[in-house]
Chains A and B, each alone.
Chain A
Amino acid sequence: DAGVTQSPTHLIKTRGQQVTLRCSPKSGHDTVSWYQQALGQGPQFIFQYYEEEERQRGNFPDRFSGHQFPNYSSELNVNALLLGDSALYLCASSPENTEAFFGQGTRLTVV
């Protein structure tokens, strides 16, 4: 049984560019959440998707947007990248609102 998978694992982008990160949830999980983890800090909640709708959003600007597909997979899009967007982006899935299982993350570097 595959766990949560994220792609790509590493990414380097230039300031002002746009990026799309992808997440496939664990089998049977219908809820996907995205977190941003800056170096040396705990993860910060970006948003959660359930039934293809954004159910809750954290304190992140509109440059951060997402999507959930009918197969429950999800994308995180970040527009107009800033140097401060450099971080590890973690996707988590869960069957409804139970314990979250995380992927290995996408390490984004903005130069």
Chain B
Amino acid sequence: AQKITQTQPGMFVQEKEAVTLDCTYDTSDPSYGLFWYKQPSSGEMIFLIYQGSYDQQNATEGRYSLNFQKARKSANLVISASQLGDSAMYFCAMRESNDYKLSFGAGTTVTVRA
């Protein structure tokens, strides 16, 4: 069964605007971590932000914030004030407490327009 679902294959956003990337997950483990990674065309996966299942507040890292809705099993990434350099593939991933691996979604391609 798919553990991470990203339903938006591609999105366009205007420079300086905000964009929200959807991510839903499936787990019965009460303890888990959620991650977002950025993958430019060069291939390297760049860690952006982390949210633990017991964290009380939504994670933020600079222009990145995570809208964590535990009851809905949703962990959407918000990128504020988009820049041309934000154009990339974005992956949502999860690691459960009894697991060492990251389970990734299929990714969302973001294209920022000038």
Chain A residues 33 to 48 lying within 8 A of chain B, measured CB to CB, are 33, 35, 41-45, 48
Q: Among B42, B46, B50, B105, which residue has its beta carbon within 8 angstroms of that of A42?
A: B105
Chain A contributes a number of interface residues (CB within 8 A of B) equal to 24
Question: Which residue on B lies nearest to A50, using beta carbons?
Answer: B100
Chain B residues 3 to 60 lying within 8 A of chain A, measured CB to CB, are 4, 35, 37, 42-47, 50
Query: What are 10 A-B contacts with C-beta separation under 8 Å?
Result: A42-B106, A43-B45, A43-B91, A55-B100, A56-B101, A90-B45, A99-B47, A101-B47, A102-B47, A105-B43
Q: Among B44, B45, B101, B106, which residue has its beta carbon within 8 angstroms of that of A45?
A: B101
Chain B contributes a number of interface residues (CB within 8 A of A) equal to 22
Interface mask (A81-94 → B, CB under 8 Å = 1, otherwise 0):
00000001010100
B103 within 8 A of A: yes
Most buried by A among B35, B42, B100: B100
Q: Which chain A residues have a beta carbon within 8 Å of chain B's beta carbons?
A: 31, 33, 35, 41-45, 48, 55-56, 58, 88, 90, 92, 97, 99-105, 107
CB pair B44–A100 under 8 Å, yes or no, is no
Q: Which chain B residues have a beta carbon within 8 Å of chain A's beta carbons?
A: 4, 35, 37, 42-47, 50, 91, 93, 95, 99-107
Question: Which residue on A lies nearest to B103, using beta carbons?
Answer: A45
Closest approach, in angstroms, between the C-beta of A28 and any C-beta of chain B?
16
Most buried by B among A33, A48, A100, A104: A100
CA distance A56 to B98 in the complex (A): 11
- Residues of A close to B4: CB separation below 8 A: 42
Q: Among A41, A48, A101, A103, which residue has its beta carbon within 8 angstroms of that of B101?
A: A48
- Residues of B close to A103: CB separation below 8 A: 44
- Residues of A close to B46: CB separation below 8 A: 102
Closest approach, in angstroms, between the C-beta of B97 and any C-beta of chain A?
9
